[in-house]
Amino acid sequence: MRILLIIPAYNEEKNILSVYRSIVKYNEEHQTNYDVIVINDCSKDSTSEILNMNNIPHIDLIHNLGIGGAVQTGYKYALAHGYDIAVQYDGDGQHDINYVKNIILPICDGKADFVIGSRFIDDKTSSFKSSIFRRAGITLISVLIKLVTGKTVKDTTSGFRAVNKTIIQLFSESYPVEYPEPITTTELLRKNFILEEVPVAMHERTGGKSSITPFKSFYYMINVILNILVVRFRRYPHAR
Amino acid sequence: MPDNLRLAVFLISILLFVVIFVILIKGRMPLKFALVWLIPAFLILLVSVLPNWLMHMTEFLGFQTLSNMIIGMLFVFVIFVCISLTIIISGQKIKITLLIQELSILKNKIEDLEKKERGE
């Protein structure tokens, strides 16, 4: 099984090197060979220089595309290079490399098509659960996904997830520009792909700045809710 | 409809036709999009030549005056134009995203190849 970690990065000069080193170190210690591709979304800081100087495999986008466009570039790369599993992995140090094996396991065993690394499955795993408002938003989206697909997703906004080859192909063809996680999850469930959620720990950001503001959160909720409703009424003739 | 007004409307529609044709001849707009403007130009021409049908339509739709109906119709038309423009822009945005992605992936490939050639 060839596994690729897709790491979107925008202005991550403080984090990206340590994130990459932690993956290399993990590979050495555990005899795994997770490949990495960093998608530098036209960062304004020195992210590109750091990637070049340290020989980190990366693609420099020639123009800023936003998270959706950046991650999709990673899926296109995964498709072109014949990877079996693609894992989305944050460049800001929030994700923990030790959980990648848990996330890919259900796909390796053929039990699931896509896996979400969830903060909310059991209370012990993750100490960092984000603020009460964000949790309320995540719960609301979760209820909506349940209504639309009939399936339960606890951590709807987690960016720590793995997909199999079929979904790599789907994502390379089309991927939402904004806030892709809850929307693609709903779409995949509507297409009858099998989801598994596994518990993971997430850390608070180690450096850099989060991009979330109150207005953005409000826009986020409206955007995601409407998008999920649109997915509800779309037809999927080639569903699995 | 007073004759002066009819003449003015007629001239405006001719002017619209000329402007659109000049743009078309210069190749600055494909015919597909020019049609959006040719159809209203034709309607305006029709109004100046045969003004009566507008009166009937005003009565039929229940507008108080002819001018109210014209402004109302124009508003609806402009909304449709705006929606069609939004669709066109969205399509272009998707294509631009595709170009940026493919170009960036290609660039990465070329740089990798160059590195290999230099034996790094």
A59 touches chain B (CB under 8 A): yes
Least Cα distance to A209 among A39, A93, A86 occurs for A93
A50 touches chain B (CB under 8 A): no
Share of chain A above pLDDT 70, in %: 92
Which pLDDT score is estimated for A164?
96
Inter-chain contact B103–A73, Cβ cutoff 8 Å? no
A99 touches chain B (CB under 8 A): no
β-pair partners for A162: A87, A115
Inter-chain contact A59–B104, Cβ cutoff 8 Å? yes
> Which residues of A, range 161-200, sit inside 8 Å of B by Cβ?
177
Which pLDDT score is estimated for A37?
97
- Output the CA–CA distances (angstroms, integers) from residue B117 to A52, A60, B113, in the order listed: 17, 20, 6
Q: Three-state SS for A60?
A: strand
What are the tens digits of pLDDT across the range B59-79?
Answer: 999 999 888 988 998 899 899
Inter-chain contact A73–B107, Cβ cutoff 8 Å? no
A188 found inside a domain: yes
Cα separation, A152 vs B49, in Å, equals 65
Work out the average pLDDT over B93-97: 92
Inter-chain contact B105–A65, Cβ cutoff 8 Å? no
Q: Any idea what the CATH number is for the domain that residue A63 is in? A: 3.90.550.10
Task: Identify which of B101, B103, B107 has the shortest CB distance to residue A72.
Answer: B101
Q: Using the predicted structure, report yes or no on whether residue A34 has a pLDDT greater than 80.
A: yes
A226 found inside a domain: yes
- Output the CA–CA distances (angstroms, integers) from residue A24 to A105, A133, A154, B23, in the order listed: 20, 36, 30, 59
What number of other Cβ atoms are within 10 A of residue A208's Cβ?
Answer: 18
Distance, CA of A56 to chain centre: 20
Number of structural domains chain A divides into: 1
What are the tens digits of pLDDT across the range A131-187?
Answer: 787 888 889 999 999 999 999 999 998 999 999 999 999 999 999 988 899 999 999
Inter-chain contact B101–A73, Cβ cutoff 8 Å? yes
Inter-chain contact B104–A58, Cβ cutoff 8 Å? no
Distance, CA of A142 to chain centre: 17
Q: Using the predicted structure, report yes or no on whether residue A8 has a pLDDT greater than 70.
A: yes
A27 found inside a domain: yes
Containing structural domain, residue A143 = 3-233
Share of chain A above pLDDT 90, in %: 70
Task: Identify which of A65, A80, A177 has the shortest CB distance to residue B100.
Answer: A65
Q: Are A19 and A51 in contact (CB under 8 A)?
A: no
Confidence band, pLDDT 50/70/90 cuts, at residue B2 = confident
Least Cα distance to A19 among A86, A93, A99 occurs for A93
A205 found inside a domain: yes
In chain B, residues with a C-beta closer than 8 Å to the C-beta of A177 are: 93, 97
Q: Angle CA(A103)–CA(A23)–CA(A72) in degrees, nearest 5?
A: 60
A240 found inside a domain: no
A193 found inside a domain: yes
Work out the average pLDDT over A13-34: 94
A196 found inside a domain: yes
What are the tens digits of pLDDT across the range A186-198?
Answer: 999 999 999 999 9
A201 found inside a domain: yes
In chain A, residues with a C-beta closer than 8 Å to the C-beta of B104 are: 59-62, 73
- Residue A239 tokens, joined: 């569903």
Phi first, then psi: what are they for A156, rounded to 5°? -75, -20
Inter-chain contact A76–B105, Cβ cutoff 8 Å? yes
> Exposed, middle or buried by CB within 10 Å (0-12, 13-18, 19+), for A83?
buried
Cα separation, A90 vs A103, in Å, equals 14
ipTM over 0.90: no
pTM: 0.82
- Residue A153 tokens, joined: 């997703």
Confidence band, pLDDT 50/70/90 cuts, at residue A208 = low
Inter-chain contact B100–A69, Cβ cutoff 8 Å? yes
